[in-house]
Structure 1
Amino acid sequence: MNIKSQKDFFSGLMFMGVGGAFAWGATTYNVGEGARMGPGYFPLMLGILLALIGAAITFTSLVVEAEGGGKIGKWAWKPLFFIILANVVFGILLAGLPSIKLPAMGMIVAIYALTFIASMAETGWKFKTTFILATVLAIGSYLAFVVALKLQFPVWPEFITG
């Protein structure tokens, strides 16, 4: 077996693994059938589709020659760290952390924190650009989730809203 594109080969394996896990996890729910779908039907079909796409990508990586061999480079540790940290901080700020008595800071504060921390993954990030992006995301999220969808979750910190 001669791998002609390492990037495509390993991304195909990743898609097959995630798709297989979704499909397997969906079988714990009632799947139903096409005419009467159960709660597990959509995740099962999505998982199967993702696994099939992964199989196609993996097959292509073995058949089609890639320019430069499609070698995998070094791990980008800095962006990986900041993107994961941004998501963890977002979750903690949105819901709070009762074990250390940190109250929920709400959606607006969580979005600003998420945007600023994730922006640090980029080399040469600028405060003004990040602030504008965070403001647009906060306003858009408020309009989409609170105004349009009427979802009930904290928008502002608990110590402000009471």
Structure 2
Amino acid sequence: MSKIGVERASGLFLIAFAALMLWFGRDLPLGQTARMGPGFVPFWVAIAIGAIGIGITVLSIGRRDLSFTPSRPGRVLMILGCILLFAMIVEGYGFVLASFVLVLLSSFSAKNWKLWQSLVLAFALTAFTTVAFVWGLSVPVKTFPW
């Protein structure tokens, strides 16, 4: 049995994930571009993910497998913990503070961690996500703790 490369495995995973998205969303009406139904965006996201998966898989054919070193479990667990912390504090302390804490704490898992880079990234991503989600898309979430 031949060894499957990381790129090909990633591409096949994306294709399978897109197929699952299409399968679970098959009963949702698509609607039209002017009047989108609840299945419109999931359908097109699944198509995009599937296309990316096909592209990755096709490009991986005939290429030498890239060396793959798995991430340390501690880093992965830290990022998952930060996401859980975000979910726990977003309602009580607001989106801005929760986003800032999420980005700042999850940046500690980087190999070459620098405080000033993490602070700049936390400020920039918090500002962007606040403008995009809270004000641009009007997501009903508490913005500030007060």
TM interval, shorter chain, is: 0.7 to 0.9
Q: TM-score, normalised by structure 1?
A: 0.71
The one-letter code matched in structure 2 to 1:138 is T
Q: Would you say 1:117 and 2:86 are equivalent positions?
A: no
- Determine which of 58, 62, 65 is the counterpart of 1:64: 62
* Aligned CA-pair RMSD: 2.8
Q: Would you say 1:88 and 2:84 are equivalent positions?
A: yes
Range 115-124 or range 144-153, more displaced: 144-153
* Deviation of the 1:15 alpha carbon: 0.4
* Residue 10 to residue 112, structure 1, CA distance change in 2 (3 Å): same
* Deviation of the 1:106 alpha carbon: 0.6
Work out the number of aligned pairs and report it: 146
The one-letter code matched in structure 1 to 2:127 is I
Q: How many percent identity over aligned positions?
A: 24
Aligned equivalents of 2:17 and 2:54: distance in 1? 12
Query: Residue in 1 aligned with 2:130?
Result: 142
Instruction: Give yes or no for contact 1:26–1:41 (8 Å, CA) kept in 2.
Output: no
Range 85-94 or range 26-35, more displaced: 26-35
Aligned equivalents of 2:39 and 2:80: distance in 1? 28
Output aligned runs, 1:1-16, within 5 Å: 2-3=2-3, 6-16=5-15
Q: TM-score, normalised by structure 2?
A: 0.77
* Deviation of the 1:31 alpha carbon: 3.0
Q: Which runs of 4+ in 1 moved over 6 A?
A: 33-36
